[in-house]
Structure 1
């Protein structure tokens, strides 16, 4: 699948899940804290879908996030090992590459991802905000992270923990991609 096009496959899963648990668009919107128009937008597959939204919908509907991302349920209860390069590819955004590192584990309390963010111009930043909290630990390169209007640079070994409701944007610096562990709760 082309990078950034996974939302086209995820969209019908969102609608199917909502309908299978008997929720209206308005009821789901209220449960996950978004406007009904946002639910419709994501279910139509016309817009990229934030992982945080998928996580919230999965929780509201009583399924694992893996069911929405991959189209099948996670089955492991005690532990899961993910070998280097073997995480579930979540090609859902045009500006980042995500690998889910616990897609086979059920009843997760957090969602760990290996994320690669390419370098780009400051005017190309994509802003996000979502419920929950986020932890980033740098593995490669230099990451510029904007939290609202505050700019921070993270180097290998640096970390940041923040409230994800703060508008945030990321980019790799020095003409290199930034690679980091991202844990969303």
Structure 2
């Protein structure tokens, strides 16, 4: 049985390979993909070469640039369903992605993957007790609603404490990261919106 770090390495390798395959299939250079996503060419190259582990928000933007669902980048499974105006994802249908970086563990459960051409991506996220190695910084906005526990949030150099029932909304183009504090892992609803305002 593989440990969480080995599993995460396998998932990250598969994600990197799918990004490269999609880019080549669509005839896009790294420069063109950089233009479409707003990320630096060097950053995208590091992702493809497994030198950087992209956060979910980055994968969302890359998936949008390719015109595919983010769950395809993560799992490799394409949805054959026609676009529906209303979808329901039952609790047992959530797609779970575990990401591990040393002792920094995160679990994402996708709760919006069935809706095609969506403006938002929602997850139930469980955070580890350590900050990620690097802060996140990407285009768009985020809404976070605390479901359980407590977390320390650093946004643009300022520190905040969020507890069960608290909600925060922010522009995600500033450096930000969070970790669980207290005696249990924080669980929260996070919604990313990465499309530019019209």
- For the criterion TM > 0.5, the same-fold answer is yes
TM-fit CA distance, 1:78: 3.2
**Which one is further off, 167-176 or 138-147?**
167-176
Whether the aligned pair in 1 keeps the contact of 2:89 and 2:114 (CA below 8 Å) is no
**Matched length:** 183
What is the aligned partner in structure 2 of residue 27 from structure 1? 32
**Deviation readout 1:134-155 (Å, 9 max, x if unpaired):** 0000000011111011111111
RMSD: 1.9
What is the aligned partner in structure 2 of residue 100 from structure 1? 110
**Deviation readout 1:116-164 (Å, 9 max, x if unpaired):** 01223x7x66411111100000000011111011111111111000000
**Which one is further off, 44-53 or 133-142?**
44-53
**Deviation readout 1:42-81 (Å, 9 max, x if unpaired):** 1122321122221222222222222212212333523333
**Which one is further off, 5-14 or 73-82?**
73-82
**Deviation readout 1:68-118 (Å, 9 max, x if unpaired):** 122123335233333335411122453321111122221111000000012
Mapping 1:60-139, distance limit 5 Å: 60-74=65-79, 75=81, 77-94=84-101, 95=104, 96-120=106-130, 126-139=134-147
The 2-side partners of 1:81 and 1:45 are apart by: 34
What is the aligned partner in structure 1 of residue 156 from structure 2? 148
What is the aligned partner in structure 2 of residue 179 from structure 1? 187
2:22 to 14, 17, 21: 17
1:114 partner SS: strand
Consecutive unaligned residues in structure 2, runs of 5 or more: 194-198
